[in-house]
Chains A and B, each alone.
Chain A
């Protein structure tokens, strides 16, 4: 985890997002994936 951003250094998800991932619907996952694309480029 990146201490400054609170994001996983590999997948850019928050702890909350990783913890909930397996219970998310495909649609919820896609919403998160869209956010990750932005987080990745603004790194």
Chain B
């Protein structure tokens, strides 16, 4: 066990799955806490229970989002309502949040949901966040999301990496699907992490890890492969969105799954750019690839999640 004085004692990582991002609690010495990222809306009751459990009577003062994808901020509204926490977001989507524009926030385009919330403050690259005797530097980390931030504690060489670096990979590069730049930014953030040389990374998904060199090598190889084959990246984005949806609904009639994604921005763009098939046929192809890869099962007219 870590001693009370170790840096680990001022932090609790609630490791979630792929639908909800990890939630990271940072504590100070006055029984206050900050939460980094709040999970997906479908899990918000569990998020609240987990956060309450970890708080053990201490007060949650702020929720800070690394970025505003639905799996990172879906518990914001609930945590504000139930625990009275304020909400802090990176500035990129501030206007979209103010008017709750689900298209600009990407929720409608991804076929995902998020409970409406309002933010109280902004966190900007270059800011410093001091809590529990630790100082975190706020760094820009475009790539997976143009407006994402990561948090870097140089003294303890610890990085809260959001979806910029996981033990095995990184978050899908959505911008490239739309024809905007994302690979170059993702490469830059991997290079920055390489330069920082963290000894511990707390990712947005999956377990915290210390073999950062290996993770960077894997991420870099994966980025090279995606960059060399934009169609593969586009297929990966759509398959990620389908798998995400199946993780929530667990099983669904094939035609209902096709209908759920019909007219959704990313599915339409990928089909238009790379396949030009009737939409249902395009979706069946993506589903077949997920089945072949062992991520989903097909039973008669039903698509089911596979653990």
Contacts and interface: CB of A to CB of B under 8 A. Distances in A.
A30 to B, nearest CB: 14
Given A22-B14, A23-B12, 6 more contacts: A8-B46, A15-B50, A18-B15, A22-B22, A22-B208, A23-B13
A10 B50 contact: no
Interface size class of A (residues with CB under 8 A): 10 to 19
A19 B17 contact: no
27 contacts: A1-B45, A1-B46, A10-B17, A11-B17, A15-B46, A15-B49, A15-B50, A16-B53, A18-B14, A18-B15, A18-B16, A18-B46, A19-B12, A19-B14, A19-B50, A19-B53, A19-B54, A21-B15, A22-B12, A22-B13, A22-B14, A22-B15, A22-B22, A22-B207, A22-B208, A23-B12, A23-B13
Contacts, number: 31
A32 to B, nearest CB: 12
Nearest to A21: B15
A15 B53 contact: yes
Nearest to A29: B207
Contacts of A16: 53
Interface string B1-26: 00000000000111111000010000
